[in-house]
């Protein structure tokens, strides 16, 4: 591949895999996303995770799954070339003025679920469902992206073991936090429930810096396993190491009554069952009456009015820049301790948005 085919425009993402750039095809003028794979730690050649990702993407063809256009080698770097979308869900939900009504949320959420249902029907787990991995176009088209942790599972061997060191912490289901290595598509459904709730709350439901704190955050809102239909949790490897402090029933409906509409709350509850065997499947979600009842799914035309692109990476850069400007203005006005600027940075919705996707994989 010629080195001059693509011209990089800006960086739009970064992770353990490497960096993602917005680029333009010089010949066709088509915008693409270039995912540069991190190679320096791979002494034995091409990363096995990248090989798995490429094979999976080549096997998946669906309107709500991002398309791999081609592979490219340039100056000893390997790039995966993807179709380009203007925004991701994490970035959009951090937008201070852009709001969705329930019809808009249904329209977007249904597309995410359709992409996930397609994957699960083919025995593919994503294993990192979160807002920054859900891409959106200005036309309201949704595509699931970043298959770096995805893998195929053996649908005919339900007792196969897989690593539990997957899924960004705030979206990781309780069975993985408790050490389970036998699991299925229910691990993705937990993340689906988390981001469905996030459409309404504009912040992650469960937030902590470590696995123990994450479990406690889940228990605080959803109740403890034994009291909420999951006695099998007691047999998981790490249950006795981090047992619940006290028995507790779910507080979800009571705490979020004024934030999430009743029909949506009821559906979220079916996605966030502690017992993975009791969770809805993606197909169950699509056949739920939620999408048939008013308000009907409605395309969010306000996305077309955005003058900037809103990816999580870019949104974080904007907030850092704004925070730095606020602090400089605070000192310039004689506020030596910067309390006013710090208040702006560390309170309100921005607190959750700044940390929303900072967890490492």
- Read off the CATH number of the domain in which 53 is found: 3.30.200.20
Q: Which of 86, 88, 128, 312 is catalytic?
A: 128
* 35 is a domain residue: yes
Question: Is 79 found in the same domain as 95?
Answer: no
Check pLDDT > 70 for residue 358: no
> Does residue 336 fall inside a structural domain?
no
Res 340 pLDDT > 60:
no
Percent of the chain scored above 90 by pLDDT?
75
Say what the pLDDT of residue 315 is: 83
Q: Which pLDDT score is estimated for 177?
A: 98
Beta strands (DSSP E) in 26-67 are 31-37
Neighbours of 261 (CB within 10 A): 15
Dump the DSSP string for 220-249: HHH--TGGGT-GGGGGSTTTTTS--SS---
Same domain, 134 and 222: yes
Confidence of residue 50 (pLDDT cuts 50, 70, 90): confident
**166 lies in the same domain as 94:** yes
Q: How far, in Å, CA of 88 to CA of 217, rounded? A: 26
Higher pLDDT, 3 or 59: 59
Q: Which of 291, 324, 341 is the last residue of a domain?
A: 291
In a domain, 331, yes or no: no
pLDDT band of residue 348 (cuts 50, 70, 90) is very low
> Known catalytic residue: 146?
no
Residue 341: what pLDDT? 36
Same domain, 141 and 273: yes
pLDDT of residue 329: 53
- Residue 280 confidence (pLDDT): 99
Q: 265-304 pLDDT, tens per residue? A: 999 999 999 999 999 999 999 999 999 999 999 999 999 9
The whole-number pLDDT of residue 319 equals: 74
pLDDT at 70: 94
**361 pLDDT above the threshold of 90:** no
Is residue 304 domain-resident?
no
**pLDDT, tens only, 105-153:** 999 999 999 999 999 999 999 999 999 999 999 999 999 999 999 999 9
Same domain, 114 and 175: yes
Round to whole Å and give the CA distance between 235 and 240: 8
Around Cβ 296, how many Cβ atoms within 10 Å?
A: 11
Question: Which of residues 241, 271, 291 is at a domain's end?
Answer: 291
Tell me what the mean pLDDT of segment 306-324 comes to. Answer: 84
Among residues 239, 262, 291, which one ends one of the domains?
291
Helical ranges in 64-207 per DSSP H: 89-93, 102-121, 174-177, 186-201
Confidence grade of residue 17 (pLDDT, cut at 50, 70, 90): confident
Residue with tokens 């949704």: 142
Q: What is the pLDDT of residue 168?
A: 97
Do the domain assignments include residue 251? yes
Q: What is the pLDDT of residues 216-249, one digit of tens each?
A: 999 999 999 999 999 999 999 999 998 998 999 9
**Same domain, yes or no: 279 and 169:** yes
Distance CA 296, CA 292 (A): 7
Q: pLDDT tens-digit profile of 166-206?
A: 999 999 999 999 999 999 999 999 999 999 999 999 999 99
Buried-state track 36-66, b at ≥16 Cβ within 10 A, e below 16: bbeeeeeeeeebebbebbbebbeebebebbb
Please give the C-alpha separations between residue 293 and each of 52, 103, 196, 289, in angstroms, as whole numbers: 40, 10, 17, 6
Q: Is 270 annotated as a binding residue?
A: no
Q: How many domains does the chain have?
A: 2
**Residue 334 reports pLDDT greater than 70:** no
CATH number of the domain enclosing 204: 1.10.510.10
pLDDT band with cut points at 50, 70 and 90 for residue 18:
confident
CA distance 147 to 162: 16
**Whether residue 51 is found in the same domain as residue 149:** no
Q: How many CB atoms lie within 10 A of CB 12?
A: 22
Segments forming the whole domain that contains residue 43:
6-83
Q: Please check whether residues 117 and 31 belong to one and the same domain.
A: no
How far apart, in whole angstroms, are the C-alpha atoms of residue 355 and residue 193? 19
């Amino acid at each position: 591949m010629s080195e001059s085919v693509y011209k990089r425009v800006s960086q739009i993402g970064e992770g353990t895999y490497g960096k993602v750039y917005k680029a333009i095809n010089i010949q066709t003028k088509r915008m693409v996303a270039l995912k540069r794979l991190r190679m320096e730690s791979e002494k034995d050649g091409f990363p096995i995770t990248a090989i798995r990702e490429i094979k999976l993407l080549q096997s998946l063809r669906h309107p709500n799954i991002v398309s791999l256009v081609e592979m490219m080698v340039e100056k000893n770097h390997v790039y995966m070339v993807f179709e380009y979308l203007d925004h991701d869900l994490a970035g959009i939900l951090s937008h201070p003025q852009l709001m969705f009504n329930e019809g808009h949320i249904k329209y977007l959420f249904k597309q995410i679920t359709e992409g996930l249902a397609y994957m699960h029907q083919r025995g593919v787990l994503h294993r990192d469902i979160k807002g920054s991995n859900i891409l959106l176009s200005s036309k309201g088209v949704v595509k699931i992206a970043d298959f770096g942790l995805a893998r195929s599972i053996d649908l005919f061997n339900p007792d196969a073991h897989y690593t539990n060191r997957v899924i960004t912490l705030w979206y990781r289901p309780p069975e993985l936090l408790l050490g389970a290595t036998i699991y299925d598509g229910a691990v993705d459904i937990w993340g689906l429930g988390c981001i469905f709730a996030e459409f309404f709350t504009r912040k992650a439901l469960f937030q902590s810096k470590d696995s123990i704190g994450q479990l406690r955050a889940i228990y605080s809102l959803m109740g403890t396993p034994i009291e909420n239909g999951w006695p099998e949790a007691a047999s998981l490897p790490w249950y006795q190491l981090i047992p619940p402090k006290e028995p507790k029933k779910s507080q979800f409906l009571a705490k979020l009554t004024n934030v999430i509409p009743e029909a949506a709350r009821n559906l979220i509850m079916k996605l966030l069952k502690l017992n993975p065997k009791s969770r809805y499947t993606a197909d169950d979600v699509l056949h739920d009456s939620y999408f048939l009842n008013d308000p009907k799914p409605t395309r969010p035309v306000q996305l077309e009015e955005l003058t900037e692109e809103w990816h999580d990476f870019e949104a974080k850069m904007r907030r850092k820049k704004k925070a730095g400007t606020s602090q400089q203005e605070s000192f310039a006005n004689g506020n030596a301790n910067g309390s006013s600027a710090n208040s702006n940075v560390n309170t309100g919705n921005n607190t959750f948005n700044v940390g929303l996707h900072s967890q490492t994989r």
